[in-house]
Amino acid sequence: MFKALDIWLPAYVRHPKCQPVNGVTHLLLAVCDHFEPFHKADRAHALRRVDKWRTAFPGLHEFRDADGAPPKHTFFYPIEQYDAEVLERLAGICRETQCETEVHLHHHNDTAENLKAVLQRGKEDLLRHGLLSRDETGATRFGFIHGNWALDDSHPRGNHCGVCDELRILKEAGCYADFTLPSAPGRTQTRTVNSLYYATSTGRPKSHDTGTPARVGSAPSGDLLLIQGPLGLNWRWRKLGIFPRIENGDLTWSNPPTLERLRLWLDLQIHVKGRPEWVFVKLHTHGAPSPNRGMLLGESMRRFHVALGQFMRANQERYALHYVSAREMVNLLHAAEDGQTGSPCAYRDYQLRSNLQRTAAVT
């Protein structure tokens, strides 16, 4: 069916309307980048792409959230494209800013044993540059995005994966959460939408089609935590002036972030069940190539941060903004599960701590 609406539209229609919130709604905003510097590029071009980020991204640090933190960006780097110099320059961006780097992987016709080896090697590669994070036991942990959206062999033709037990393998490798979804309008999209939930491997493709919602007072369950971004219909931006467009949290040069889109993200109110005042907005992008890079580092993004700050100041009795990394977003989810309330500021390092040694210049 057109745009895979048969998969996700029923769940979107049934999705509960915004729950009333007493007091302040805390907006937890994360940008997760499928960061592919080698996309249609040789090594020299890939290095230039990373250098453009290192030069331009600190310019966004004039903007601050309710905690005094600047905008953050999480680079999900394709571990099958390891290059020591590219990774070291990317790690330099993270050390100099409050950005972080996690695991991205494209694979096709793979096996469980090979996937385990690739993940282990990829972890070791990123660790050499001081990246990823550790839990309370000291074990290495990582966030994950599946290349080509085909998590758990979810492509209907079996493309771009091949491993049906991927959720369990990711958990055993140290994955703390998956950030792939939403994948609409592709058919790898799940029936579960606008949710934070745990899924369990079934041995069949797309085990994460459904799962158990994260909930206050409930312990983590299943094989893997999934952090979904917003998915819905945008009736204010119509194709041919008639049909609503899909809102899937994708930031592109032709569809940059705006206050109109922000209102849709807030209305979907993705949250841990029982904590509706903490709203999780996980956006995604492909930020290495231009023109997306120009949007993310240029005037379009600056205009959004200016408008966002003005909106928050005008509505400070209703909203508070918190720029977060993917890792921090998961820490806040677990804090909510444990019953923590109020401002989420104190829980950014609740269970998972970054391996990065920040430079003294970062505040």
pLDDT by residue (tens digit) across 189-211?
999 999 999 999 999 999 999 99
- The pLDDT tens digits of the residues spanning 208-223 come to 999 999 999 999 999 9
Give the pLDDT band of residue 363 (cuts 50, 70, 90). very low
Model confidence at 175: pLDDT above 70: yes
Give the pLDDT band of residue 19 (cuts 50, 70, 90). confident
Q: Per the domain annotation, does 170 fall within a domain?
A: yes
DSSP string covering 293-324, please? HHHHHSHHHHHHHHHHHHHHHHTTTTEEEEE-
Question: What letter would DSSP give residue 28?
Answer: E
Q: Per the domain annotation, does 314 fall within a domain?
A: yes
Q: How many domains does the chain contain in total?
A: 1
Neighbouring C-beta atoms of residue 146, cutoff 10 Å: 27
Q: What is the mean pLDDT of residues 140-151?
A: 98
Domain that holds residue 179: 2-15+27-354
Q: For residues 259 and 360, which has the higher predicted lDDT (pLDDT)? A: 259
Q: Per the domain annotation, does 361 fall within a domain?
A: no
Q: Per the domain annotation, does 359 fall within a domain?
A: no
Q: Per the domain annotation, does 360 fall within a domain?
A: no
C-alpha of 193 from chain center = 15
* Residue 16: predicted pLDDT: 83
Task: Return the percentage of the chain with pLDDT > 90, whole number.
Answer: 92
- CA–CA dist 50, 52 (Å, integer): 5
Model confidence at 239: pLDDT above 80: no
- Reported pTM: 0.96
Q: Per the domain annotation, does 207 fall within a domain?
A: yes
Tokens representing 219?
């312990």
Tokens representing 279?
């709203």
Give the pLDDT band of residue 361 (cuts 50, 70, 90). very low
Model confidence at 362: pLDDT above 70: no
- The pLDDT tens digits of the residues spanning 300-311 come to 999 999 999 999
Q: Per the domain annotation, does 202 fall within a domain?
A: yes
What is the CATH classification number for the domain harbouring 107? Answer: 3.20.110
* Residue 360: predicted pLDDT: 40
Contact 231/192 with Cβ under 8 angstroms? no
- CA–CA dist 122, 17 (Å, integer): 41
- The pLDDT tens digits of the residues spanning 78-111 come to 999 999 999 999 999 999 999 999 999 999 999 9
Model confidence at 359: pLDDT above 80: no
* Residue 2: predicted pLDDT: 62
* Residue 1: predicted pLDDT: 45
- The pLDDT tens digits of the residues spanning 50-67 come to 999 999 999 999 999 999
| Contacts of residue 1, Cβ cutoff 8 Å, sequence gap at least 6 | 7
Q: Per the domain annotation, does 79 fall within a domain?
A: yes
